[in-house]
Amino acid sequence: MYGRNLPSIMRDVFGEDLFSPMRLADDGRRCWAPAVDIFEEDAILHLHFDVPGVDKDAIKVEFHDGVLSVSGQRKSVHETANWLGRERWVGEFTRSFRIGEVYDPKSIGAKFDNGILMVTIGKREESKPMTIKVS
């Protein structure tokens, strides 16, 4: 297929292990990371983040020096509960992706619907495929 496994390729392209819901924060604390689907369709890069229970106003999308960062926070709804089990991650999250130069940061859009954050980035015109007429 590729000669390497897919997680290794994704790590090389996006700079992180996409398949783990747990991350380490800058200070070494464990934190959660929403699952993300990444695909390209019609010269547009799509990133869909699973963020159920996260308020739209608690999400920040930033682009700086070729890196797209999505961060936010999911708050616990039962802080004082006597927990018997807890599988849903709460707290802050950050996901960062190095975006190739073929994409135009001026075209970045973000939409939040039903617990899914959808970020889109279009390709630069000069990066889109073109057909050359043979004379």
Q: What is the pLDDT of residues 6-46, one digit of tens each?
A: 444 455 455 554 445 555 555 666 678 999 999 999 889 99
End-to-end CA distance of the chain: 37
Domain CATH code at residue 33 = 2.60.40.790
8 Å CB contact between 71 and 60 = yes
Mean pLDDT across the chain, nearest whole number? Answer: 81
Q: Which structural domain, as residue segments, surrounds residue 15?
A: 6-73+88-125
Q: Structure pTM?
A: 0.72
8 Å CB contact between 7 and 15 = no
Q: Which two tokens stand for residue 66?
A: 């070729």
* 104 falls within a domain: yes
